[in-house]
Chain A
Amino acid sequence: MRVLVNEEPREVATATLAALLDELGYGDARVATAVDGAFVPASRRASWTLDEGARIEILAPMQGG
């Protein structure tokens, strides 16, 4: 299935958001996720099924002013 992760096209084998994070190496990382512009809490990632073309944002802690 083809999805966009942080605007980069990716071919992924997994069907849920939690599995995608594992596949990308974010399994235990402190990140926040959004799909198609809407926040998806960590507690809902395991049951969040990804659709073809889904736009996924994975954001990490970063320096800020």
Chain B
Amino acid sequence: MLFYGTELSSRLMLGTAQYPSPEILADAVREARAGVVTVSLRRESIGSRAGQAFWSLIRELRVPVLPNTAGCHTVKEAVTTAHMAREVFETDWIKLEVIGESDTLQPDMFALVEAARILTDDGFKVFPYMTEDLVGAERLLRAGCRVLMPWGAPIGSGRGLNNLFGLRALRAHFPDVPLVVDAGIGLPSHAAQAMELGYDAVLINTAVAQAGDPARMAAAFRLAVEAGLIARAADPMEQRDMAAPSTPVLGRAVLA
């Protein structure tokens, strides 16, 4: 599966925020064998140079970066942030976030489509953070997006895949578009489930960063993503409502 023409080394994308220390972040990225790490841009106190140290750390990890527009609530903010990120991180990839509601951090699909169109025209390769809205997905594709990233649940909630039907419908409607579950995954089993649904990758941050042992949890996610990917390729059985004996009935002794 290609993401804007690039084959990723793994289907696990990892966020870099909220780790107890830079060393633990580096360990988690290594244990996850992350195919991509997400990064951001923020103000820092004048003279702190924390951003420069962080950038050095990320470069040493040699993992492709996906900058985000986290915290943006308008098209203008998101577009300006994307331009700033492109220059700093030297990539035309952008994880486009335009937040519409503060409690759920739900994407504003209308602003998202508009920003995606502007950024695509400006030469960006847009990874839109979206709801699982089928019509919105179609509009994002028309705006030039070649990857879609529906949420599983609100960012940082760890609730897993809230709307299985919606995620399955997206997969069925867009069989050839790379789909990534971004946000809301709390456990490796949620990540495996997303991959079993046929999703191409998952993006995890809080579930790893806030675990008691982030590096160990990163390893668990790596295995879960791989298990789900293999399971999907192995064509899972159909569910049924009633039992079907697995041991042959024929040849059973009569002992009653």
Interface window among B45-53, B135-143, B186-194: B45-53
Considering the chains assembled together, what is the distance between the CA atoms of A1 and B170 in angstroms?
Answer: 55
Question: At the interface, yes or no: B61 with Cβ under 8 Å from chain A?
Answer: no
Interface window among B34-42, B161-169, B172-180, B234-242: B34-42
- The size class of the interface chain B forms with chain A is 35 or more
Contact for A25 among B18, B43, B46, B88, CB less than 8 A? B46
Q: Which residues of B contact A34 (CB under 8 A)?
A: 80, 84
Considering the chains assembled together, what is the distance between the CA atoms of A57 and B76 in angstroms?
Answer: 15
A-contacting residues, B19-63, CB 8 Å:
19, 25, 38-44, 46-47, 49-52, 54-55, 58
Contact indicator B88/A64 (Cβ below 8 Å):
no
Known contacts: A25-B46, A30-B55. The answer to whether A63 contacts B84 by CB under 8 A is: no
Residue of A nearest to B203 (CB): A65
Contact for A60 among B51, B83, B206, CB less than 8 A? B51
Known contacts: A5-B46, A57-B43, A59-B43. The answer to whether A64 contacts B17 by CB under 8 A is: yes
Size of the A side of the interface (Cβ < 8 Å), in residues, is: 24
Contact for B38 among A30, A58, A65, CB less than 8 A? A65
Chain A contact residues: helix, strand, loop or mixed: strand
Considering the chains assembled together, what is the distance between the CA atoms of A44 and B67 in angstroms?
Answer: 22
Considering the chains assembled together, what is the distance between the CA atoms of A42 and B156 in angstroms?
Answer: 34
Q: Which residues of B contact A38 (CB under 8 A)?
A: 80
Q: Which residues of B contact A58 (CB under 8 A)?
A: 43
Contact indicator A61/B89 (Cβ below 8 Å):
yes
Question: At the interface, yes or no: B103 with Cβ under 8 Å from chain A?
Answer: no
Known contacts: A60-B51, A60-B52, A65-B17. The answer to whether A30 contacts B46 by CB under 8 A is: no
Known contacts: A39-B84, A60-B44. The answer to whether A29 contacts B39 by CB under 8 A is: no
Known: A37-B76, A64-B38. 17 other contacts (CB 8 A): A5-B46, A29-B51, A29-B52, A32-B88, A38-B80, A39-B84, A39-B87, A58-B43, A59-B43, A60-B43, A60-B52, A60-B55, A61-B40, A61-B41, A62-B50, A64-B41, A65-B203
Measuring CB to CB, which residues of chain B are less than 8 angstroms from any residue of chain A? Answer: 15-19, 25, 38-44, 46-47, 49-52, 54-55, 58, 67-68, 70, 76, 80, 83-85, 87-89, 155-156, 183, 203, 205-206
Give 6 A-B contacts (CB < 8 Å), ordered by A residue. A5-B46, A30-B88, A38-B80, A39-B87, A63-B25, A65-B38
